[in-house]
Amino acid sequence: MTLTLSRWADAPARTLMSALFLLSGIGKLTAVSATQGYMAAYGVPGVLLWPAAAFEIGSGALLLLGLWTRPLGVLLAGWCLLTAAIFHTAFADQNQLINFLKNLAMAGGFLLLARAGATSLSLDGRRVGTGGRP
C-alpha cells in the first residue's frame, strides 16, 4: 500500500508545490513596478525581479514535470530559506511570521523531495526507468 500511495501522492504534491512558484513568478511579471518597490523596501535591487521571476517560473515548471527533482529540491529549499530571511523577519507582524513559517515548512518539504526524488509519474521516473529512485 505504501508504494502505491507514494506513487500516486507524488504528482499531486509536486503540482501543489509548483503552483506557488508558477503563480509567484507570473505575478512578478504582471506587477513589475509594485514588485520592484516591494523588493527595494527590503534592500533588494529591483533589477533582480527578472532573474527571480525566471527562476520561479522555470523551477515551477520543472517541479510540475518532475524533471531534475532531487537537485531542484535542494535549490528550492534554499530559495525558501533565503526569501524567508530577507522578506519575512518582522515577527511582530503575524502575517510575516506566518509567511516565515510557511517558507520553513516548504523548505522542509523540498528537502524531503530532494531525498526521495520523483516517482514514475514524472519525467525523472521515465528517464531513469526506476520511478525516479536509485
pLDDT at residue 122 in the model: 87
Residue 68, C-alpha cell as written in the block:
531534475
Average pLDDT over residues 5-28: 90
Over the stretch 53-68, which tens digit does the pLDDT of each residue have?
999 999 999 999 999 9
Domain boundaries, the chain: 2-128
pLDDT at residue 6 in the model: 66
Please give the model's pTM, rounded to 2 decimal places.
0.88
What band does 3 get if pLDDT is binned at 50, 70 and 90? Answer: low
CA 17 to the chain's CA centroid = 6
Residue tagged 523577519 (cell numbers): 89
Contact 124, 69 (CB under 8 A): yes
pLDDT at residue 134 in the model: 46
Phi, psi of 120, rounded to the nearest 5 degrees: -65, -15
pLDDT at residue 37 in the model: 97
